[in-house]
Structure 1
Amino acid sequence: MALLATGLNFLSSILLVPFMMLLLSIIFLASIGKSLGVRRLYVKVLLMIFEYGRKDIELAQNEKRKNKTDSEDEGYSEGVIESEVVTKNQSNTPLKDALKPNGLTNGHVKNGGNNLISREDRHILLPDPVNVPIVDEKSEEHISDDEIKERKVQEKISNFQLNTILDYTKAGMEAIIEDQVTSRFEAEELKNWNLLIRTNRGYEFISWKLTFIWLCGFFVRYFLLLPLRIIICFCGVQWLTICTALVGYIPPGDFKRLVNKYVAIMCFGVLSRSISSVITYHNVENRPKEGGICVANHTSPIDVLTLMCDNCYSLIGQRHGGFLGILQRALARASPHIWFERSEVRDKKFVIKRLKEHTSDPKNPPILIFPEGTCINNTSVMQFKKGSFEVGTVIYPVAIKYDARFGDAFWNSSKYSMLHYLYMMMTSWAIVCDVWYLPPMQKKEGESSIDFANRVKSAIAKQGGLVDLVWDGQLKRYKAKKEWKERQQEEFSKRLKME
């Protein structure tokens, strides 16, 4: 036993030295804003493994279908063989096209990007224009008004379809099967399996090769990456707390703002290593500047970390306890942030007043706001609250798009706690995302705050490849507003008058 204990101690000491060297080198490179390109190489290797896994799953599924069709009649088997040829051709598509519906789909998510319902490109509840026949005045002058009305009636009858009178029933059934709101608060659809067991399909046991790869990946994620990431996160939080406390003692002025900007980018760069983030920034010439407001789509609390790795922002939000509260108090020591109590957040006039006070000083960092007010699953952009667009300052739109193949960054706050969410992030492969800085936008003359907010939202959705929705994201917590119901009733009454 003593010999075994000695051997284990010797082995642990050998492994501990390279582990500590790796940890220190990661923290040092992050603190100076440098990278050796290891993470991007790691992501490329993962893509190759995912592609191999996709082909292996497809091959196993095709063999299973082929064995099944051998026991059926010839006529049916010919149709199946034809479908297999189509599936084989689809297997040659690139990874971004992933698996098609007749191949294999990820089963742990629903309604992320592939919709069950194919809706028309119009609001189903809005009235349709009346079909009025075109009449040539020169050739139809002799036709009386009664005959023209009769023609209109006949044309309505000839164009009548069953769904003409069942639009509301159709819309209701579509909402029951798949509505446009609740599907935005579930995990994003994955087109191919990413070797994570957050699915109930059991893909890891479909072949011995895939089982071996999954076991190796499990060991890497839980016994190498997870301990390393936890230590980096702990060191990053401690480093942020110490640095911001020291910055707080510097007298206010340009030097303090310069030091705070460097410290913020450095500390959040270290924290980003705790989730192996790979962030690509586009159009950096449009990076938000002092005295403005930066608005972005909201997927998770990681959005703040993603943006703070490239620029220094002032934050606005509700005071929190726990882990988020520690970060809030640390940040408040070094730079001006706006934290509200729960009762103050409901006072819109007070919030707008604080925003105007912050943006009135051109030397204050740009304030970062997520106008959606809640996390959306990285497939859509939902209604922007108009408050930040009533301040009357420059708006810097930013679009954030995460790659869910490596790890789902969406935080379902109604299902997971913050600690559980962080655990999921640290046991994922990586957090890969793109950030686009859009040109600054200002409110046009005569433009309402709501129209301005919608214009900014549309620009973000277009750049990020997201679906632009008019619904309020707070519908996941509260019932629909009375005004929405009254609007639908009004549209229904208009339609009845037009029939």
Structure 2
Amino acid sequence: MAGILSLVWFVGSVLITPFLMILLCIVFLASIGKSLGVRRLYVKLLLVIFEFGRANIETAQRNAHKNEDSDEDETCSEDVDPPNNNEQRDQLVKQPNGLKKSNNGYVPNGNSVISRDDKLILVPEPPFTILKKDGELSESKEKYKEYDLSSIFDYLKVGMQDIIEDQVTSRFEAEELKNWNLLIRTNRRYEFISWKLTVMWVCGFFVRYFFLFPLRVTICFFGICWMVVSTAVIGCLPDSPVKRWINAKAYIISFRIMARSLTGLIHFHNKEYKPARGSVCVANHTTPCDVLTLSTDNCYSLIGQSHGGFLGILQRALARASPHIWFERSEVRDRHAVANKLKEHVSNPKNPPILIFPEGTCINNTSVMQFKKGSFEVGSVIYPVAIKYDPKFGDAFWNSSKYSMMQYLYMMMTSWAIVCDVWYLPPMRQNEGETAIDFANRVKSVIAKQGGLVDLVWDGQLKRTKPKKEWRERQQEEFSKRLLN
């Protein structure tokens, strides 16, 4: 019995000692904002592995297609006479571009079946003129002089397109990848195409779940403990420049440690435009970790709804050391209360910049949807920030209607890494005579252009609610104009 215990102790010490050394090294480097370059080397190694996997998948698919073609040729040579007429010849012609459809109709590397105009509203077409034989123009004739059955075809086409693939629903699904990243995020069973991919996938599974996951959970626990303890101590200090300086350092250290728990590799650009105190910072929203991503480089005040449980602990901890705006459920819909608290916060130049996500919901890292105008009515300088995640290493998008917060964090911590780019953009002010809606759209277009995202006018809340009545009435009005013309 003593021998077994000594063996267990020896094995445990061999495994735990390196684990603790790695943990302490990561926490220490995160606290001082330094890196040994291990994460960058790790990401480069992943890219090499992904490329190797892509080449193996393509090779396996080519071999499978060759085998299918050879089997078909043998069957045709044994059972079918050579084609002697056009009908038989047409039956043996392959699909265009040499591609063959699978059972579910998918064409590998094919394009989308939807080819749509980017017009959200169908407008009346202008009248046209007819050119006579002598070169003179005849009198103008209205194309839609009276109702015709073909008048509804354009609307039927748009309706069919939106049923198959609308612009809103597709923004709340995981972003499609060009190449497989060895994660279980596919129904094509790529991991079993060849024995090489199987070995790679099994090794990756053990690395992610038996080494990275426990290490990341432990690092995250350290970060949370540091935040709770440091904010409790800072909250006891009197309000002064020293307190604000200490709080900023403790705030950034906390989020840097938690970012290391996701193997976050964040590239910041244009740091000369970093948000200043007493201003508003607005950014596109992909994940709750957007706060973590931005807070590794700057101290922010946060705004949001009060929560209980785990998030409530973090909110109360942050509120001890610096000013944040947390609303009760009864106040969330009170726009005047929100606007007043925002104006009060930005009016004090000593307060950290307040971080706001005007979309109000998470979008799947491909688009920017409608910005709520409330953030742009406070009369403060707006600092736009564009965030773009690299989906090859892990899907950062949080589908809140499908996964809980704990499920989402589990998926993030078992991904390879979180790699993203952050662009600070020049500060913007509302022009004279410009409405808050126009100002919000102008800021949104700047963020979309910098991040390479699609600029959409749709409200992100459509994933939870029905379209507004005025949207339907606008479509009906435009359709009635076409009939009257």
Q: TM-score, structure 1 length as denominator? A: 0.88
Q: 1:351 to 1:243 in 2, by over 3 A?
A: same
Name the structure 1 match of 2:278. 291
SS for the counterpart of 2:61 is helix
Name the structure 1 match of 2:468. 481
Aligned counterpart for 2:178 among listed residues 161, 182, 191: 191
Query: Following TM superposition, by how much is the alpha carbon of 1:78 offset from its aligned partner in structure 2, in angstroms?
Result: 8.8
Q: How far apart in 1 are the matches of 2:57 and 2:9?
A: 42
Alignment gaps of 5+ in structure 1: 85-100, 106-113
Name the structure 1 match of 2:322. 335
Conserved 8 A contact 2:177-2:391: yes
Q: Does 1:148 align with 2:144?
A: no
Conserved 8 A contact 1:56-1:210: yes
Give the counterpart letter for 1:383 in structure 2: Q
Name the structure 2 match of 1:126. 122
SS for the counterpart of 2:420 is strand
Spell out the pairing of 1:170-319 with structure 2 (5 A cutoff).
170-319=157-306
Conserved 8 A contact 1:402-1:432: yes
Spell out the pairing of 1:360-439 with structure 2 (5 A cutoff).
360-439=347-426
Q: How far apart in 2 are the matches of 1:10 and 1:68?
A: 55
Conserved 8 A contact 1:286-1:440: yes
Q: How far apart in 2 are the matches of 1:475 and 1:80?
A: 39
Query: Following TM superposition, by how much is the alpha carbon of 1:133 offset from its aligned partner in structure 2, in angstroms?
Result: 3.6
Once superposed, what is the RMSD of the aligned Cα atoms? 2.5
**Misfit runs of 4+, over 6 Å:** 74-78
Name the structure 2 match of 1:98. none
Name the structure 2 match of 1:59. 59
Spell out the pairing of 1:15-94 with structure 2 (5 A cutoff).
15-73=15-73, 83=98
Name the structure 1 match of 2:82. none
SS for the counterpart of 1:166 is helix
> Aligned residues, how many?
463
Aligned counterpart for 1:450 among listed residues 427, 437, 442: 437
SS for the counterpart of 1:72 is helix
SS for the counterpart of 1:310 is coil
Give the counterpart letter for 2:38 in structure 1: V
Name the structure 1 match of 2:332. 345
Give the counterpart letter for 1:121 in structure 2: D
Q: Does 1:495 align with 2:482?
A: yes
Q: How far apart in 2 are the matches of 1:178 and 1:276?
A: 34
Q: How far apart in 2 are the matches of 1:344 and 1:62?
A: 60
Q: How far apart in 1 are the matches of 2:423 and 2:150?
A: 42
Q: How far apart in 2 are the matches of 1:413 and 1:391?
A: 29
Q: How far apart in 2 are the matches of 1:82 and 1:326?
A: 58
Provide Cα deviations, 1:137-161, integer angstroms capped at 9, x if missing partner.
xx85xx8xxx513xx35x889xxx9
SS for the counterpart of 2:11 is helix
Q: TM-score, structure 2 length as denominator? A: 0.90
SS for the counterpart of 1:241 is helix
Name the structure 2 match of 1:110. none
Q: How far apart in 2 are the matches of 1:174 and 1:19?
A: 53
Give the counterpart letter for 2:30 in structure 1: A
Provide Cα deviations, 1:83-134, integer angstroms capped at 9, x if missing partner.
48xxxxxxxxxxxxxxxx85469xxxxxxxx7542211323x3214404349
Provide Cα deviations, 1:431-476, integer angstroms capped at 9, x if missing partner.
0100011111110011111000000001111111111111111111
Query: Following TM superposition, by how much is the alpha carbon of 1:492 offset from its aligned partner in structure 2, in angstroms?
Result: 1.2
Q: How far apart in 2 are the matches of 1:388 and 1:331?
A: 22
SS for the counterpart of 1:315 is strand
Query: Following TM superposition, by how much is the alpha carbon of 1:135 offset from its aligned partner in structure 2, in angstroms?
Result: 8.6
Conserved 8 A contact 1:297-1:381: yes
Query: Following TM superposition, by how much is the alpha carbon of 1:163 offset from its aligned partner in structure 2, in angstroms?
Result: 6.6
Alignment gaps of 5+ in structure 2: 77-88, 100-105
Conserved 8 A contact 1:268-1:309: yes
Conserved 8 A contact 1:69-1:80: no
Conserved 8 A contact 1:407-1:428: yes
Q: How far apart in 2 are the matches of 1:22 and 1:117?
A: 50
Give the counterpart letter for 2:117 in structure 1: E
Tell which deviates more after alignment, 378-387 or 487-496.
Answer: 487-496
Q: How far apart in 2 are the matches of 1:450 and 1:121?
A: 21
Give the counterpart letter for 2:45 in structure 1: V
Q: 1:104 to 1:57 in 2, by over 3 A?
A: farther
Q: How far apart in 1 are the matches of 2:212 and 2:299?
A: 28
Query: Following TM superposition, by how much is the alpha carbon of 1:312 offset from its aligned partner in structure 2, in angstroms?
Result: 0.5
Conserved 8 A contact 1:401-1:434: yes
SS for the counterpart of 1:278 is strand
Give the counterpart letter for 2:440 in structure 1: A
Q: How far apart in 1 are the matches of 2:174 and 2:188?
A: 16
